[in-house]
Amino acid sequence: MRIARPLLAAFLLFLCEGAHAQAAGAYPRKPVRFIAPFPPGGTSDVLCRLLGQKLAERLGQPVLVENKPGASSNIGHELVARQPADGYTILLSNNGALVINPFLFKRLGFDPVSDFSPVSMVASAGQVLVVHPSVPVASVRELIALAKAKPGELHYGSGGKGIPSHITAETFKAATGVDIVHVPYKGTVQAVTDLVGGQVELVFSDMVPAMPHIRAGKLRALGVTTAERSPALPDVPTIDDAGVPGFRALVWWAVLAPRATPPAVIDRLNAELGRIVGESEVQDKYASLGVATEHSAPQQVLARMQADARAFAPVLKAARMEPE
């Protein structure tokens, strides 16, 4: 019996490992849906399509990107949370949805922790503060002075309640004491479009929707929210250097699957994403977007969520942003 029990345990372990390998090898047998819970044209959408194309090449099956925007990305998240846990529906999420939205909505329709199985971090980026050319400022310090001289008269657009463009602006308000008015849109792309049209005066935008307008002279970039200057906008100072010491704001993106997705599937997706973000072509594309590549173990996504929640809680409290 003393010998039989270890042999039996080893045999069971062999069977489990074999089943794990077989499941990983069999996946996928049909197309995979990749949900982007944001409107087309923004950074999240561009990243989703780039990663989806590369995943399709590596998985040997089509990866179909579907935009499901609305309710500060809650609609797309709820949809994925209700899908079968078989690896055939995955989600590109960000810290706005996973960390900020639980503070801002009484009913999300999903639980960021218990309804998803994290796969990997895939990207991170700063934002750029852009103003309409009609705003008579050429620096962050001048914008702060103007906003203090005209409290409540400047309007900032955002991608919606809880979206990073919203939270960064509220953080800026708290750090500088300015009174600027929030105008929410269904996505940051729409906010930037209205900024170009002069309907709002400023936006804390992702790099992707803002850069074509900056280069065309239709928007003026005052500062970036990262600790260092962005390679995509090397002539634009950090907001820290431009007059708000210590100011930082980072957006990160992660791929998730519905809760209880088989570990073999999570491992396969994680490994493929790691290979994808390691490709020089992908790294060059990321850099052109002002985005940094990231890859992580699944559990590190949860750790990042928890760390950000602790950091954002006092910011949201100071901004008096109550859940609705």
Whether 57 and 134 share a structural domain: no
pLDDT digits (tens, 9 = 90+) for 270-313: 999 999 999 999 999 998 888 999 999 999 999 999 999 998 88
Q: Is 2 a member of any domain?
A: no
Residues linked to residue 293 through DSSP beta bridges, in sequence order: 123
261 has a pLDDT exceeding 90: yes
Q: Is 10 a member of any domain?
A: no
| Model pLDDT, residue 104 | 87
pLDDT confidence band for 240 (50 / 70 / 90): very high
pTM for the full predicted model: 0.80
Q: Is 198 a member of any domain?
A: yes
321 has a pLDDT exceeding 80: no
How many domains does one find in the chain?
A: 2
Whether 180 and 259 share a structural domain: no
Q: Which token pair is 280?
A: 């020089």
Q: Is 6 a member of any domain?
A: no
Report, as an integer, the average pLDDT of 167-194. Answer: 93
Q: b/e for 103-139, b at 16 or more Cβ within 10 A?
A: bbbeebebebeebbbbbbbbbbbbbbbbbbeebebee
Whether 194 and 145 share a structural domain: yes
Whether 138 and 70 share a structural domain: no
Report, as an integer, the average pLDDT of 3-21. Answer: 44
| Model pLDDT, residue 161 | 80
- What's at 63, amino acid-wise? V
| Model pLDDT, residue 20 | 44
| Model pLDDT, residue 25 | 60
Whether 120 and 263 share a structural domain: yes
Report how far residue 34's alpha carbon sits from residue 139's, in angstroms, rounded to the nearest whole number: 40
Report, as an integer, the average pLDDT of 240-246. Answer: 94
Whether 163 and 300 share a structural domain: no
Domain at 139, CATH number: 3.40.190.10
Whether 150 and 182 share a structural domain: yes
Whether 219 and 143 share a structural domain: yes
pLDDT digits (tens, 9 = 90+) for 65-93: 999 998 889 999 999 999 999 999 999 99
Whether 144 and 119 share a structural domain: no
| Model pLDDT, residue 219 | 98
Residues linked to residue 279 through DSSP beta bridges, in sequence order: none
Look up the domain containing 193 and give its range: 128-224
Domain at 71, CATH number: 3.40.190.150
Whether 119 and 34 share a structural domain: yes
4 has a pLDDT exceeding 50: no
